[in-house]
Every structure is written in C-alpha cells, then in structure tokens.
C-alpha cells in the first residue's frame, strides 16, 4: 500500500501503519532533515509541531462548523508529553488525535505518534474562550454529541 502523506488516513490505512485501532484523525508524514538535532534524532520540538499541526487540522475539519460565524479562541491549557522512543531521518510516522472527555468549555485530547510502534504521546486540555478571551465559551451541543459519537469521549461534568 502506498502511504498517503498529509491527508487523513482511513481506518484500514491506520491499521496498516501499525495502529492498534483506528482513531477519528490520523495523518502520515516523514521525518525531515530540519527536524533532526545534533545527536541525529528528531528534536523534541518537532513532536510538538507534529501534534499541533494535526490538532489544528482536526479543529478546522471537525470542530469549526459547530460555531458558525462567531469563532471562539481555542487554546491549549496544558499538555503532558511522553517521549517513548527516538525517531530518525526519513522514518514515516503517523500522528493521531482523539477527544477523550469534555466539560462545559474544555476537552481533553489524546495524541500519539506511531512509527511501527508507539514513539510519543501527548494528553492535553484544550479550552474554548470568548473571542475577546475574557471568559469560557460553552461547547455547542452538536459538538458535544460529535465528541461522544465520533471520538467515544465521555462527558466529565
């Protein structure tokens, strides 16, 4: 099977890349020279870039339409990253994302990087804020339903 890069992977493609089970959002890419550090493995910052790129894509394709014309701010409150195994130049990897749980104005997202086996994980709390950033912005019911149906997320209120 040919790898489709920077395009959401379907469930069969995800399984073919070694994921234990499909997730709502997964995309493949390849380690670039600019992501390598002096020790000849991927710099820790690159993992953050990969997680952020997929998170933004997931937001734009699956969340944005639930807010209409008034788009809230979408911010990372905190994130916990676990580097499992180093990666090197030229490796093909898959970054994944899924929502684990949600509250009134926030949700917890799990992200992973796979390259045959698990290489890194990130679990973060994302918060919706009003456009002026002064207060929390409630998650619309339609997005709450999507979190439950698509991601299997649970309400944690």
At 23-67, the pLDDT tens digits run 999 999 999 999 999 999 999 999 999 999 999 999 999 999 999
Strand 154-155, strand 92-102: pairing: parallel
pTM of the predicted model as reported, rounded to 2 decimal places: 0.93
pLDDT tens digits for 89-106? 999 999 999 999 999 999
Mean pLDDT to the nearest integer, 110-129: 97
Q: What is the pLDDT of residue 1?
A: 61
Give the 3-state DSSP-derived string for 52-119, with helices as H, strands as E and coil as C.
Answer: HHHHHHHHHHHHHHHCCCCCCEEEEEEEEEEECCCCCCCCEEEEEEEEEEECCCEEEEEEEEEECEEE
Q: Which CATH architecture has domain 11-155?
A: Roll (3.10)
Four-residue CA torsion sign, 34, 36, 42, 44: negative
């Amino acid at each position: 099977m040919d790898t489709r890069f920077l395009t959401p992977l379907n469930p069969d493609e995800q399984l073919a890349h070694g994921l234990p089970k499909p997730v709502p959002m997964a995309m493949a890419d390849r380690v670039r020279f600019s992501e390598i550090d002096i020790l000849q493995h991927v710099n820790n910052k690159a993992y953050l870039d990969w997680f952020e790129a997929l998170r933004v894509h997931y937001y734009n394709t699956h969340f944005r339409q639930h807010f209409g014309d008034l788009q809230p701010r979408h911010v990372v409150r905190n994130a916990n990253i676990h580097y499992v195994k180093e990666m090197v130049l030229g490796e093909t990897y898959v970054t994944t994302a899924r929502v684990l749980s949600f509250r009134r104005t926030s949700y917890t997202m799990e992200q992973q990087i796979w390259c045959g086996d698990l290489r890194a994980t990130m679990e973060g709390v994302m918060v919706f804020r009003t456009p002026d950033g002064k207060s929390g912005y409630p998650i619309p019911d339609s997005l709450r339903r999507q979190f439950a149906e698509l991601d299997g997320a649970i309400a944690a209120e």
